[in-house]
Amino acid sequence: MTLEEKQQEIIDEFSIYTDWMEKYEYIIDLGKSVKTINEDLKTDDRLIDGCQSRVWVASEFKDGKLFFSADSDAIITKGIIALLIQVLDGESPETIVNADLHFIKDIGLQDHLSPTRANGLLSMVKQLKKSALLAMR
Amino acid sequence: MGFSVEDIRKQFPALHQEVFGKPLVYFDNGATSQKPQVVIDAIEHYYAKENANIHRGVHYLSQKATDAYEEARRIVQRFIHAKNDYEVLFTKGATDGINLVAFSFGELLEAGDEIIISEMEHHSNIVPWQLVCQRKQTVLKVIPILDNGELDMVAFEKLLSKRTKLVAVTHASNTLGTINPVKEIIQKSHAVGAKVLIDGAQSIQHLKIDVQDLDCDFYAFSSHKVFGPTGAGVLYGKEAVLNSMPPYQGGGDMIDKVTFEKTTFNELPFKFEAGTPHIVGGIATGVALKYLQELDFESVHQHEMELLNYAQAEMKQIEGLRIIGTAKNKTSVISFVVDGLHPFDIGTLLDKQGIAVRTGHHCTQPLMERYGIVGTVRASFAFYNTKEEVDLFLKALKRSIELLK
């Protein structure tokens, strides 16, 4: 699946929910069930200290592709991270650096990306892209 | 005088809207308050009919604007019971007022002098003093708090000494709601010769303020937390203390005579009001305080306490919920955590159900550390909130907890 197709899949998934709480219920379930970062990888150098929730990111570069794991102490943040990883995992560094992650806006979660929201998510997207940039070197 | 919350709500247009398809329940009054129509009208009226620069024009409009601005100063004076109108300085807000004192009063300090603050201060009443300490090699001392969120007054008395030059404490905690015994603090501080600054950001909208009765040397507040506009605020200072301090910023209005060799400064309050001020902000601050003054304080206070007591009693029934800040004397602020849940998650779900609260560390990181938590959810009530809104909040809170557990 292309990055675009993966985004569309999430947009379609969310389009069935008309109520905000249903959307968040889905994100919470995702946050609860997703396999994220290993506890021993939750080190301070992988911590993106947002104002409210803490977010850890680790990446692995294998056969020209990047693979991510991440975690957060807030379950909603974790659910949104899971969505991000779903889209970016296994892509080439070039694709990740240039990715327009419009699905976040399309499913109505853009407020989580506002710098003032300060939940670490914006920093996390930056961090994912930074890992990709580093892998390109 | 009676008190009808329905009538009062009609005065606040922002309360009547839906968010995410749900009626807005605004419980973030500790962050900022909504504005009554009279304040909104005053701002529009000023720009439509009175706009001119003040204190310098020979023309009609300038005089009209100056009169309105200086009348606002006298409204503030009466509201906080200051002895003189020139002891009321208009600022950008509480933070600006505290920084003014930190700079100008700070200039009078010497290495080794001590400044006392408390563990429950918000960053605005911590960082300016740290800057003074860097600049003047003064020493910062911190009054610890007890588990219930009250100041440790025994520890406070031990911190006081002849070296203490300033005590800067909040009247009411933005995070815990604790109302501090400021009168006692002021008396004890004066006994060792120290001046006292009261941070009134969280008390001006909830408590009766009489700066002469308190005998504080400084009292700072922001207009936007007391139903006025953002970007405006007040610093009250005692005449003698203000006169002993050098100016904070230089510019127009604060000068008497300027030559390149020497400049002499204007008298109070203008000495501390450099440049064209936030004229409409000052005027609208006066309108907001006048609005508040015309309400019956006792009824307003009783209503807020009823909301607080009802909400706290109901919240204590929720399993795993812990209220942070259980002082005997509290403003209508409830900070809480729920076992195993992140405040951000609770706040996000409340938001989607129309409930506006604040989550996080509330700019009191040292306080969060004290309680060993990352943050809280804070519901803060104003007199325009209702018991029905508390019920909506409780219902939404229970649903959020259920989803997150």
B359 contacts A20? CB cut-off 8 A: no
Residue A116: band (very low, low, confident or very high) from pLDDT cuts 50, 70, 90 = low
What is the arithmetic mean of pLDDT over B132-154? Answer: 98
Q: Say if CB B282 and CB B96 are below 8 A apart.
A: no
Apex A53 CA angle, A50 and A59, nearest 5: 70
Asked if residue A121 has pLDDT above 80, the reply is: no
Confidence at residue B288, expressed as pLDDT on a 0 to 100 scale: 98
Q: Say if CB B352 and CB B20 are below 8 A apart.
A: yes
Query: Residues of A near B (CB-CB distance < 8 A)?
Result: 20-21, 24-25, 28, 51-54, 73-77, 118-119
User: How remote is the C-alpha of A33 from its chain's centroid?
Assistant: 15
Separation CA B114–CA B156 (nearest Å)? 13
A52 contacts B348? CB cut-off 8 A: no
Asked if residue A53 has pLDDT above 80, the reply is: no
Give me chain B's average pLDDT, please. 96
- Which residues of B are the active-site residues? 363
> What is the span of the domain harbouring residue A34?
3-136
Q: Hey, is A30 helix, strand or coil? A: helix
Which two structure tokens, joined as six digits, stand for B212? 């002469």
Angstrom CA distances, B333 to A13, B26, B29, B307, stand at 40, 13, 9, 10
Q: Which one of B123, B346, B348, B368 makes the best mutation probe of the A interface by having the most chain A beta carbons within 10 Å?
A: B348
Percent of chain A whose pLDDT exceeds 90:
39
Asked if the domains B5-30+296-404 and B40-293 are classified in one and the same CATH topology, the answer is no
Which two structure tokens, joined as six digits, stand for A66? 């990047």
Q: Which one of B342, B350, B357 makes the best mutation probe of the A interface by having the most chain A beta carbons within 10 Å?
A: B342
Chain B: residue nearest A53 by CA?
Answer: B344
Q: Which chain B residues contact residue A49 at CB under 8 A?
A: none
Q: Say if CB B346 and CB B377 are below 8 A apart.
A: yes
Q: Hey, is B138 helix, strand or coil? A: coil
Confidence at residue A54, expressed as pLDDT on a 0 to 100 scale: 80
Kindly give the interhelix angle for B297-315 and B387-404, rounded to the nearest 10 degrees. Answer: 30
Asked if residue A46 has pLDDT above 80, the reply is: no
Separation CA B262–CA B139 (nearest Å)? 34
B348 contacts A24? CB cut-off 8 A: yes
> Per-residue pLDDT tens for B232-261?
999 999 999 999 999 999 998 898 999 999
CA-nearest of B318, B317, B234, B307 to B277 is B234
Confidence at residue B397, expressed as pLDDT on a 0 to 100 scale: 98
A119 contacts B375? CB cut-off 8 A: no
Q: Hey, is B358 helix, strand or coil? A: strand
Instruction: Report the 10 Å Cβ neighbour count for B200.
Output: 31
Residue A73: band (very low, low, confident or very high) from pLDDT cuts 50, 70, 90 = confident
Instruction: Report the 10 Å Cβ neighbour count for B44.
Output: 11
Residue B378: band (very low, low, confident or very high) from pLDDT cuts 50, 70, 90 = very high
What is the arithmetic mean of pLDDT over A83-94? Answer: 93
Nearest to A74 among B20, B344, B353 (CB): B344
Q: Say if CB B94 and CB B231 are below 8 A apart.
A: no
B349 contacts A24? CB cut-off 8 A: yes
Confidence at residue B94, expressed as pLDDT on a 0 to 100 scale: 98
Better-scored residue on pLDDT, A35 or A23: A23
CATH class of B40-293: alpha beta
Better-scored residue on pLDDT, B168 or A124: B168
Residue B137: band (very low, low, confident or very high) from pLDDT cuts 50, 70, 90 = very high
Residue A44: band (very low, low, confident or very high) from pLDDT cuts 50, 70, 90 = confident
Task: Indicate which CATH number applies to the domain containing A11.
Answer: 3.90.1010.10
> Per-residue pLDDT tens for B41-99?
999 999 999 999 998 878 999 999 999 999 999 999 999 999 999 999 999 999 999 99
Give me chain A's average pLDDT, please. 85
Asked if residue A117 has pLDDT above 80, the reply is: no
Q: Say if CB B351 and CB B20 are below 8 A apart.
A: yes
Based on DSSP, count helices (H) and strands (E) in chain A, helices before strands: 6, 3
Query: How many angstroms away from the CA of A61 is the closest CA of chain B?
Result: 32
Per-residue exposure over B269-302, b if at least 16 CB sit within 10 Å of its own CB, e if not: bbbbbbeebbbbbbbbbbbbbbbbeeeeeeebbe
Asked if residue B179 has pLDDT above 80, the reply is: yes
Question: Which residues on adjacent β-strands are paired with residue B234?
Answer: B90, B221
Nearest to A20 among B20, B374, B399 (CB): B20
Asked if residue A123 has pLDDT above 60, the reply is: yes
Asked if residue A110 has pLDDT above 80, the reply is: no
The domains of chain B are located at 5-30+296-404, 40-293
Confidence at residue A120, expressed as pLDDT on a 0 to 100 scale: 63
How many domains would you assign to chain A?
A: 1
Residues making up chain B, counted from first to last? 405
Residue B1: band (very low, low, confident or very high) from pLDDT cuts 50, 70, 90 = low
A74 contacts B353? CB cut-off 8 A: no
**A60: exposed, middle or buried (Cβ count in 10 Å: 0-12, 13-18, 19+):** exposed
Q: Which chain B residues contact residue A24 at CB under 8 A?
A: 348-349, 352, 403
Which two structure tokens, joined as six digits, stand for B114? 């001590």
Query: How many angstroms away from the CA of A120 is the closest CA of chain B?
Result: 11
Percent of chain A whose pLDDT exceeds 70:
88
Asked if residue A30 has pLDDT above 60, the reply is: yes
> Per-residue pLDDT tens for B315-368?
999 999 999 999 999 999 999 999 999 999 999 999 999 999 999 888 888 999
A75 contacts B360? CB cut-off 8 A: no
> Per-residue pLDDT tens for A8-17?
999 999 999 9
- Which residues of A are the active-site residues? 51
Asked if residue A105 has pLDDT above 90, the reply is: no
Query: How many angstroms away from the CA of A77 is the closest CA of chain B?
Result: 8
Separation CA B231–CA B145 (nearest Å)? 31
Place of tokens 């404490």: B169
Per-residue exposure over B110-143, b if at least 16 CB sit within 10 Å of its own CB, e if not: eeebbbbbbbbbbebbbbbbeebbeebebeebbb
Asked if residue A64 has pLDDT above 90, the reply is: yes
Confidence at residue B331, expressed as pLDDT on a 0 to 100 scale: 98
B345 contacts A76? CB cut-off 8 A: yes
CATH class of B5-30+296-404: alpha beta
What is the arithmetic mean of pLDDT over B12-16? Answer: 98
Q: Say if CB B94 and CB B220 are below 8 A apart.
A: yes
Helix (H) or strand (E) holding A66: strand A65-72
When mean pLDDT is compared across B130-144, B159-173, B252-266, the lowest value belongs to B252-266
Chain A: residue nearest B348 by CA?
Answer: A76
Residue A113: band (very low, low, confident or very high) from pLDDT cuts 50, 70, 90 = low
